[in-house]
Amino acid sequence: MNGSTGPALKSAPVIKRHPANPVLSHKNVPYHATLTFNAGVCKYQGKYVMVFRNDYGRWDDPKFDGTNLGLAFSNDGVSWEVQPKVCFELKDAEITRAYDPRLTVIDGVVYMCFAVDTHHGIRGGIARTEDFEKFEILSISAPENRNMVLFPEKVGGRYCRLERPMPVYSRGRDRFDMWFADSPDLRYWGNNNLVLGVEHVPYANDKIGPAAPPVKTQKGWLTTIHAVDRDNNRGRNGWESQPWQKRYSAGICLLDLEQPWKVIGMSREPLIAPEASYEIEGGFRNYVIFPGGMILEDNGEVKIYYGAADTYECLVTAHVDDLLELCKPL
Ligand code: BMA
């Protein structure tokens, strides 16, 4: 009940929730797993590959023992076989965990962006892998930054990413926006440009940022965003012991092919708003939709994978032409 206060938000009629949802839950994982969500997904060497976040602890208990990343493969993008071992975990004297992986294949190589919690702030990491066993870390940003996603090809000879810095000193708590940066080598980043401010997204009043890595279309880079509205009247909503005052929806926008920091179209309404039972009840934090994977199939079908209620991994599909149609000029 609480998460639904504030303006009613509806998903766009062009998206279809997959009947197999949730496509991944802790029940599919052969090791200690509790919340399995916010996955990155790509197509690599003829298979669908998913790297998912796993917060492990006890079901219905807000205290977790840790976070690691799990690996799953699929032939159809719907039914997933989780591999027997955790594939990635970061923890040392400084780093407390890595989470929210996002996968992009560039020139046949897989890159994974991930968030890193440290004792001195939240940072955004990028690693390269060929086998999902060995990961070579290429860069970890200065704090406070996360939600990085890479474009699937270079633009103007440079690797490109979207990101969400967290400027609390000048912008105030949670007034976060979506930014662009590019790099000659995925290590050194510059050419920083604002892409979209939270004030430009009508269904957000709190923060926005990247969601899944963009896909290329003839009209531009099509990309999802996450968008948060906060209502201080909301109370507890999920097993978390704190009040949960935010609602996360997903949006869709279109970026210029040559100057990807320029938004050339955007839907003024959410693409996916929390509505289904697995998005609004029984989870750790209800009313959360957080896309992390977007795949454009040859037949024009787009698969969008998203974390639901910070608890499950789910899938919606849509046709690319319908998504482009939603992206009206600003
Ligand atoms: C953000 C991140 C995400 C999470 C979201 C909603 O701050 O922690 O991983 O999905 O909150 O809880």
Q: Confidence class of residue 3 from pLDDT cuts 50, 70 and 90?
A: low
What range does the domain containing 308 cover?
16-326
Report yes or no on 274 lying in a domain: yes
Mean pLDDT of all residues in 12-32: 98
307 lines ligand 1 (CB under 6 A): yes
How many structural domains comprise the chain?
1
Q: Confidence class of residue 7 from pLDDT cuts 50, 70 and 90?
A: confident
Å from CA of 300 to ligand 1 middle: 30
CATH number of the CATH domain containing 270: 2.115.10.20
Report yes or no on 271 lying in a domain: yes
Q: Where are the beta strands (DSSP E) in 143-189?
A: 145-150, 159-165, 178-183
* Among 244, 288, 305, 311, residue to substitute to test ligand 1 (most atoms within 8 Å of Cβ): 288
Q: Give the phi and the psi of residue 3 in degrees, each rounded to 5.
A: -65, -15
Report yes or no on 8 lying in a domain: no
Report yes or no on 318 lying in a domain: yes
Report yes or no on 2 lying in a domain: no
290 lines ligand 1 (CB under 6 A): yes
Report yes or no on 302 lying in a domain: yes
77 lines ligand 1 (CB under 6 A): no
Mean pLDDT of all residues in 176-195: 98
Mean pLDDT of all residues in 224-228: 98
Tell me what pLDDT residue 5 has.
78
285 lines ligand 1 (CB under 6 A): yes
Report yes or no on 61 lying in a domain: yes
pLDDT at residue 239 tops 60: yes
Mean pLDDT of all residues in 177-189: 98
Å from CA of 257 to ligand 1 middle: 29
pLDDT at residue 1 tops 50: no
Q: Confidence class of residue 103 from pLDDT cuts 50, 70 and 90?
A: very high
Å from CA of 164 to ligand 1 middle: 13
Å from CA of 307 to ligand 1 middle: 9
Å from CA of 115 to ligand 1 middle: 10
Buried b vs exposed e over 145-176: b needs ≥16 C-beta within 10 Å?
bbbbbbbbeebeebbbbbbbbbeeeeeeeebb
Mean pLDDT of all residues in 160-175: 92
pLDDT at residue 108 tops 80: yes
100 lines ligand 1 (CB under 6 A): yes
pLDDT tens, 189-200?
Answer: 999 999 999 999
pLDDT at residue 96 tops 80: yes
d(CA 176, CA 115): 16
Which single residue is written with the structure tokens 């917060």? 55
Largest CA distance in the chain: 50
Mean pLDDT of all residues in 303-329: 98
Q: Is the pTM of this model over 0.85?
A: yes
Nearest CA to ligand 1 atom 4: 310
pLDDT tens, 263-277?
Answer: 999 999 999 999 999
Report yes or no on 1 lying in a domain: no
d(CA 85, CA 66): 15
Mean pLDDT of all residues in 138-156: 98
- Other Cβ atoms within 10 Å of 122 Cβ, number: 16
